[in-house]
């Protein structure tokens, strides 16, 4: 990149059977102004017409020989990219026409930045309750987090290509959509790089959330691997989903369960449960007020049990992974002692 010249941008989209949502994503990419240097679509094995859709959009199309996951697909696209900046976009989001203009401006204003991440907008595409709740919660978390970000986000994340290559890209150990972007962000921060959360850089999430896929994602693809990463690297950041208020909320949820479980023989514990519930609602009142402003009182009330279930799931994952982690350390210690003898 020449001095004072705007950086060039390669848009990279990993996809596996993207369907109509992928076509909407492509349509939004073609509307950005200024246009990117290139659009690279990496097809992580597909049995639908995703390849045809990408080629019709004029994208450079790369394919994998078997399904390796989005981390591998993004790496494949990044290694082939020609732009100064790599703009990763998920196949189930649409971006705003001014997205590239925003990205160029922020990197020109802050030349020491290594990466930029955005946020879901506050108008999710799917209208069912869980889709609205889940995407609005994600929007709220990003919009109320530190501008000096602590991690990366693959759904709408931009990184300098040279930096990306220096840290060896995404960890391909993650073979499915998981926390590969979070792990990348941790390595970026550990290497001394800056990541900026740009709250005006928004994408619309097209995914439809239902009970089964939401619970599976929260527990198996987010909470469990994220806890493992935290324990391995001992990085307990006070940001995003890991704010102190979130940790206290997990303790309160389990306190409510514990007091309710003993209230059948000591009814006085019901009063303790009620007090803990009031504390939990009070602690999370900002997010419930946000839901009320966006979708009304009834919607906000409906989110409360799902929000508490979210804390319950995260807490359970932390407990299980911590026990496993400590047990593994104990076995290693015993194994080492035996070898020394």
Instruction: Return d(Cα 119, Cα 143) in angstroms, integer.
Output: 7
Rounded to whole angstroms, what are the CA distances from 193 to 114, 183, 189? 6, 14, 5
- Are the C-beta atoms of residues 194 and 128 closer than 8 Å to each other? no
Q: Could you count the other beta carbons within 10 Å of the beta carbon of residue 253?
A: 22
The pLDDT value recorded for residue 239 is 62
- Are the C-beta atoms of residues 277 and 101 closer than 8 Å to each other? no
> DSSP secondary structure string, 272-295?
HHHHHHHHHHHHTHHHHHHHHHHH
Q: In sequence order, what are the residues at sequence separation of 6 or more whose Cβ sits closer than 8 angstroms to the Cβ of residue 340?
A: none
Look at the block and give the residue holding tokens 């189930």. Answer: 92
Instruction: Return d(Cα 14, Cα 36) in angstroms, integer.
Output: 17
> Which region, left, alpha or beta, applies to residue 82 given φ > 0 means left and ψ of -120 to 50 means alpha?
alpha
Closest CA relative to residue 120, chosen from 160, 89, 97, 151: 89
- Are the C-beta atoms of residues 72 and 154 closer than 8 Å to each other? no
State the Rg of the chain over Cα. Answer: 22
- Are the C-beta atoms of residues 158 and 89 closer than 8 Å to each other? no
Instruction: Return d(Cα 123, Cα 136) in angstroms, integer.
Output: 8
Q: In the chain, which residues fall in CATH 3.90.550.10?
A: 9-209
The pLDDT value recorded for residue 226 is 87
The pLDDT value recorded for residue 325 is 78
Query: Strand pairing partners for 38?
Result: 10
Instruction: Return d(Cα 168, Cα 188) in angstroms, integer.
Output: 11
Instruction: Return d(Cα 280, Cα 278) in angstroms, integer.
Output: 5
Paired tokens of 59: 């994208």
User: Cis link prior to 34 (omega < 30° from 0)?
Assistant: yes
- Are the C-beta atoms of residues 166 and 115 closer than 8 Å to each other? no
Paired tokens of 103: 């990205």
Look at the block and give the residue holding tokens 């591998």. Answer: 72
**CATH superfamily ID and name for 9-209:** Spore Coat Polysaccharide Biosynthesis Protein SpsA; Chain A (3.90.550.10)
> Can you state the angle between helices 297-340 and 285-295, rounded to 10 degrees?
140
What pLDDT tens digit does each residue of the chain (341 aa) get? 445 689 999 999 999 999 999 999 999 999 999 999 999 999 999 899 999 999 999 999 999 989 999 999 999 999 999 999 999 999 999 999 999 999 999 999 999 999 999 999 999 999 999 999 999 999 999 999 999 998 999 999 999 999 999 999 999 999 989 999 999 999 999 999 999 999 999 999 999 999 999 999 999 999 899 888 888 877 667 666 778 889 999 999 999 999 999 988 899 999 999 999 999 999 999 999 999 999 999 999 999 999 999 999 999 999 998 898 787 777 666 665 555 44
């Amino acid at each position: 990149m020449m001095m004072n010249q705007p950086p060039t941008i390669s848009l990279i989209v990993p996809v596996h059977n993207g369907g109509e949502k992928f076509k909407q994503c492509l349509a939004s990419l073609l509307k950005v102004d200024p246009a990117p240097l290139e659009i690279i679509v990496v097809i992580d094995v597909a049995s639908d017409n995703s390849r045809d859709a990408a080629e019709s959009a004029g994208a450079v199309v790369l394919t994998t020989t078997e399904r390796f996951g989005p981390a591998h697909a993004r790496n494949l696209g990044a290694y082939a990219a020609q732009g100064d900046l790599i703009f990763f976009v998920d196949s189930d989001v649409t971006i705003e026409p001014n997205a590239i203009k925003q990205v160029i401006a922020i990197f020109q204003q802050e030349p020491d930045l290594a990466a930029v991440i955005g946020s879901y907008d506050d108008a999710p595409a799917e209208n069912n309750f869980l889709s609205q709740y889940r995407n609005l919660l994600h929007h709220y978390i990003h919009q109320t987090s530190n501008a000096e970000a602590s991690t990366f986000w693959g759904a709408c994340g931009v990184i300098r290509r040279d930096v990306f290559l220096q840290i060896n890209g995404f960890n391909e150990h993650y073979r499915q959509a998981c926390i590969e972007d979070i792990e990348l962000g941790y390595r970026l921060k550990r290497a001394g790089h800056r990541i900026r959360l740009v709250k005006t850089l928004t994408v619309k999430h097209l995914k439809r959330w239902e009970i089964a896929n939401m619970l599976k994602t929260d527990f198996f693809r987010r909470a469990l691997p994220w806890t493992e990463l935290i324990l391995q690297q001992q990085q307990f950041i006070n940001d995003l989903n890991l704010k102190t208020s979130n940790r206290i909320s997990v303790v309160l949820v389990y306190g409510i369960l514990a007091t309710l479980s003993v209230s059948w023989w000591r009814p006085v514990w019901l009063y303790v449960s009620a007090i803990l519930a009031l504390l939990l609602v009070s602690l999370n009142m900002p997010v419930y007020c946000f839901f009320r402003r966006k979708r009304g009182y009834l919607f906000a009330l409906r989110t409360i049990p799902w929000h508490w279930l979210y804390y319950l799931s995260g807490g359970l994952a932390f407990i299980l992974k911590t026990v496993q982690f400590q047990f593994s350390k104990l076995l290693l210690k015993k194994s080492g002692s035996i070898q020394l003898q």
